[in-house]
Amino acid sequence: MSEQTEQATTRNRRDEYAEMTRRGVVAAARKLFADHGYERTTVAMIACEARVSPATVYAQCGGKEGLLGTLMDMWTTSPTVGRIIGDAERGRTGRDKLRILAEGYVAHAAEAGDIMRIVERAAASSPQAQEFMRIADGRHTEALEIITQGIADIGELADGLSVTDAARIIFFHFRNPQLVLASETFGWGIDRAQRWLLERVESAVLEP
């Protein structure tokens, strides 16, 4: 093996180790933020959980704020989000599109609901978390406008309702706190909550 090849192999292994370390730190932060809250979790706690030094938490992930931002990105840019948008776009009718979207909300909540709660709760006291929520809400609304534009394009959007306002109505009804309120706080369960919220959105967004 040449010296150049050995150096490339060493770099690849170093990069792989760094990525494994980063993932471990992110997983540790996700668990601790959920268990103890963002404010009460310290970098030292994350380092201990991930079995790395506090310096590594800062170097690899930018400390607590960097980790919260990483989790927000995981929530808002996951492959699930792209799949939901694509599937909803391919729906033939407005009702098809909204049904696919409603099912997607439930699937996404199962995948990243803990992250959504982490960022939402952190935003109550952290200006940086508030900024992350603003970014997340913006990405959410932009995605919904793609779907509501599709409903408008097939002529099934309610009269006088703009694409933006239709997206906001869906956002209001299906954002995670509403889904949690209906399914958990009300004790309805996820199926009834999804069905009830979907009926509200259909009546508000689609033409009669």
Return d(Cα 78, Cα 185) in angstroms, integer. Answer: 27
Q: Beta-carbon neighbour count of residue 203 at 10 Å?
A: 10
* Residue 3 confidence (pLDDT): 54
Residue 14 pLDDT more than 80? no
Whether 64 contacts 126, CB under 8 Å = no
Q: Render pLDDT for 85-136 as a digit per residue (tens, 0 to 9).
A: 999 999 999 999 999 999 999 999 999 999 999 999 999 999 999 999 999 9
Structural domains of the chain in order of their starting residue, each with its CATH number:
3-61 (1.10.10.60), 73-205 (1.10.357.10)
Return d(Cα 115, Cα 121) in angstroms, integer. Answer: 10
Residue 2 pLDDT more than 80? no
* Residue 105 confidence (pLDDT): 96
Mean of the pLDDT values across residues 12-20? 82
Residue 9 pLDDT more than 60? no
